[in-house]
Amino acid sequence: MPRILTIDRPSPKQKLVLTESAHKFIAYGGARGGGKSWVVRTKAKLLAVRYPGIKMLILRRTYPELQGNHIDILTAELYGIARYNKQDKKMTFPSIGGKASTIKFDYCSNDSDLMHFQGQEYDIIFVDEATNFTDHQLDEISACLRGANNFPKRIYYTCNPGGPGHQYIKRLFIDRSYLPSENGDNYIFFQALPTENTALMQAQPDYISQLERLPKKLRDAWLYGRWDVFEGQYFEDFTIRPSADAVERTGLSEETLRQRHLWTHVIPPLEDIPREWQIYRGFDWGYAKPFATVYMACDWDGRLIQFAEFYGCTGDPNEGVKWDADKVFAEMREYENTHPLLRDRQIQGIADPSIWDKSRGTPIADMGIPHGIVFTPGDNKRIPGWMQFHYRLAFDENGRAMYYVTENCKHTIRTIPLQMYDETHVEDLDTDMEDHLVDSCRYLFMARPIKAPRATPPKEIHFDPLNSTRRAI
């Protein structure tokens, strides 16, 4: 006797995802414990029954993850309904009118695994834990979404903040920043929260309290699904806006704290820079990857304020404009000549020492001289440089930091939170990330080193009518 396919009752949010059919790219994620993998399995079962002959792919980063989260569970749930072929890693449903729906299970732990997908066509693709894949892998996999039939064509992404694909998912579904080739109407995001997962709450009622005990930034990512912090983030101490704790502690609004440069690293643009302040230019060379230039002013207290950036990016993350050195420096000269805070200023340039390499002919550094762009070699020690970065991010008892970046430096603000710890060199950051602007900052910080800040408790400021907590900058 044939078995009847039964589906557990979804939560209201899961039901929204399961019934969504107007968008081509659907992301469901944010916090941990939202029941995302259940949605993948359930939607695959429903589509297999609804569209006989449909071809689907469920993807995870590794095969053990795939087996534990999907294959074993679906094999048990669909026993007597669909057959699983272990060799082909494919589940086949009964043929209806000569058409049998299939679910293929595959993994992609590195770029060599992309060979699995060459020439493959799928009507539906489920990328489970999508942020564990790189941008390149996600693009290559999405190219398999095709087929000469009338079946729906969709990609479902489940995702948490963090991982190599964090920026890819964040840009498309959170920031909704699209390239000319992308249509924003095709994308929709559903926020997953653990409190919405009734089954989890019943089986593990202390799960929320476990998340609440995590460090603040992990708690924000895993419990609330915030995308500006994530596990493995190298610069967890970089603060884009004052926290709710700072607002409550000081009695000042978030905007007031921002205007006074308190408890945040991102501040309003500078209107003027005193002539006595030294201007620095930090530079990291790039061709296929972006070149990166940061401009900082050093105030009377040794505080570095980044007020401008010149970044050689195409608009696609981590893709360089492929300008030769002469064009880079010619454009840099034009940028400095026309920027109101750089025009007619003496600028001290510090760069990655690799641009003095003579092994390939004229050093890159020498090619800037005809344009009036001159550098001195920076100290390229990585770990000491990152420690200087952290020292400058630390707030003193009044909420002041030794490094600020103005809000017009969009790429710097975007890429600092993206840096992640390297899995092999655990004290270093992962050089496969978009790290060019933070490298440029590092050269300048090493040129102006400071001592490690003292650990002091925050000073409570409830009312400051004389504005004594902020010096003019």
Going by their DSSP bridges, the two strands 304-311 and 403-406 should be labelled as: parallel
**pLDDT tier at 225 (50, 70, 90 boundaries)?**
confident
Question: Does residue 284 or residue 230 have the better pLDDT?
Answer: 284
Secondary structure (H, E, C), the chain = CCCCCCCCCCCHHHHHHHHCCCCCEEEEEECCCCCHHHHHHHHHHHHHHHCCCCEEEEEECCHHHHHHHHHHHHHHHCCCCCEEECCCCEEECCCECCECCEEEEEECCCHHHHHHHCCCCECEEEECCHHHCCHHHHHHHHCCECCCCCCCCEEEEEECCECCCHHHHHHHHHCCCCCCCCCHHHEEEEEECHHHCHHHHHHCCCHHHHHHCCCHHHHHHHHHCCCCCCECECCCCCCCCCCHHHHHHHCCCHHHHHHCCCCCCEECCCCCCCCCCEEEEEEECCCCCCCEEEEEEECCCCCEEEEEEEECECCCCCCECCCCHHHHHHHHHHHHHHCCCCCCCCEEEEECHHHHCCCCCCCHHHHHHHHCCCEEECCCCHHHHHHHHHHHHCCCCCCCCCEEEECCCHHHHHHHHHCEECCCCCCCECCCCCCHHHHHHHHHHHHCCCCCCCCCCCCCCCCCCCCCCCCCC
Sequence-distant (6+) residues with CB within 8 A of 112 are: none
Let me know: does 333 contact 373? Beta carbons within 8 Å: yes
**pLDDT tier at 107 (50, 70, 90 boundaries)?**
very high
User: Which bin fits 152, alpha (ψ -120 to 50), beta or left (φ > 0)?
Assistant: beta
Residues in the chain: 473
Average pLDDT over residues 272-292: 97
What integer pLDDT is reported at residue 454 of this predicted model?
63
**pLDDT tier at 424 (50, 70, 90 boundaries)?**
low
Average pLDDT over residues 448-469: 58
* Residue 231 scores a pLDDT above 80: no
As a whole number of Å, the CA-based R_g of the chain is 26
What integer pLDDT is reported at residue 1 of this predicted model?
52
Whole-number average pLDDT of the chain: 89
Sequence-distant (6+) residues with CB within 8 A of 254 are: 241, 242, 247
What are the tens digits of pLDDT across the range 177-208? 999 999 999 999 998 887 777 666 776 777 77
> What is the C-alpha to C-alpha distance for residues 125 and 121, in angstroms, rounded to an integer?
10
Average pLDDT over residues 404-420: 95
Of 232-241, 309-318, 393-402, the poorest mean pLDDT is in 232-241
**pLDDT tier at 306 (50, 70, 90 boundaries)?**
very high
Question: Does residue 443 or residue 211 have the better pLDDT?
Answer: 443
**pLDDT tier at 253 (50, 70, 90 boundaries)?**
very high
* Residue 102 scores a pLDDT above 50: yes
Sequence-distant (6+) residues with CB within 8 A of 65 are: 107, 129
* Residue 466 scores a pLDDT above 50: no
What are the tens digits of pLDDT across the range 127-175? 999 988 989 999 999 999 999 999 999 999 999 887 778 889 999 999 9
> What is the C-alpha to C-alpha distance for residues 257 and 250, in angstroms, rounded to an integer?
9
Average pLDDT over residues 389-405: 94
Let me know: does 137 contact 111? Beta carbons within 8 Å: yes
Report all structural domains of the chain as residue ranges with CATH numbers, in order of start.
Answer: 12-213 (3.40.50.300), 244-447 (3.30.420.280)
What integer pLDDT is reported at residue 463 of this predicted model?
44
**pLDDT tier at 425 (50, 70, 90 boundaries)?**
low
Average pLDDT over residues 229-255: 87
Average pLDDT over residues 92-119: 94
Let me know: does 367 contact 283? Beta carbons within 8 Å: no
Of 64-73, 132-141, 320-329, 419-428, the poorest mean pLDDT is in 419-428
Question: Does residue 219 or residue 61 have the better pLDDT?
Answer: 61
What integer pLDDT is reported at residue 214 of this predicted model?
58
**pLDDT tier at 465 (50, 70, 90 boundaries)?**
very low
What integer pLDDT is reported at residue 469 of this predicted model?
45
What integer pLDDT is reported at residue 227 of this predicted model?
81
What integer pLDDT is reported at residue 229 of this predicted model?
61
What are the tens digits of pLDDT across the range 341-388? 999 999 999 999 999 999 989 999 999 999 999 999 999 999 889 989
What integer pLDDT is reported at residue 247 of this predicted model?
93
* Residue 33 scores a pLDDT above 70: no
